[in-house]
């Protein structure tokens, strides 16, 4: 009897290169903000998504945003996940990032 085996994801162990590698470094501070540990693979996927959706983001801006989260200047909600990053960038740097219209 053959069992169904779970196949590894095609994106698993995808090497980060260039800007994605620089973006993932500040994201590891998310683990200091959450009561649970966010897996490294998830943070790497966040890095890829941020680079794809906001290619103009700089790693220094993410460092500043993470510091703002840790100081309590910008709200971090555990339920929002990666959306915290996008909301935080819009709030922290409103001249650079526009606020998209909500789709209902």
Does any domain span residue 64?
yes
How far is the CA of 99 from the CAs of 40, 47, 88, 102, in angstroms? Answer: 28, 20, 11, 9
pLDDT for residue 13 = 58
Does any domain span residue 97?
no
Number of domains in the chain: 1
Joined together, the tokens standing for residue 65 give 């945003």
Give the domain extent around 37.
Answer: 19-92
What does the alpha-carbon distance between residue 65 and residue 50 come to, in Å, rounded to a whole number? 14
- Note if the pTM is more than 0.85: no
Does any domain span residue 36?
yes
What does the alpha-carbon distance between residue 16 and residue 31 come to, in Å, rounded to a whole number? 19
pLDDT band, very low/low/confident/very high, at 67 (cuts 50, 70, 90):
very high
Does any domain span residue 1?
no
Does any domain span residue 2?
no
Rama region for 81: left / alpha / beta (φ>0; ψ in -120 to 50; rest): left
Does any domain span residue 11?
no
pLDDT for residue 12 = 53
pLDDT, tens digit (0-9, with 9 covering 90-100), for 4-30: 554 444 445 566 778 888 888 899 999
pLDDT for residue 4 = 55
């Amino acid at each position: 009897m053959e069992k169904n085996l779970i196949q590894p994801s095609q994106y698993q162990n995808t090497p980060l290169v260039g800007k994605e590698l620089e973006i993932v470094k500040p994201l590891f501070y998310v683990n200091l903000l959450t009561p649970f540990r966010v897996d490294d693979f998830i943070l790497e996927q966040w890095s890829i998504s941020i680079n794809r959706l906001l290619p103009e983001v700089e790693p220094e801006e993410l460092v500043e945003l993470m510091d703002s989260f840790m100081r309590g200047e910008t709200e971090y909600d555990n339920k929002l996940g990666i959306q915290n990053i996008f909301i935080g960038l819009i709030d922290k740097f409103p001249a650079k990032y526009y606020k998209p219209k909500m789709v209902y």
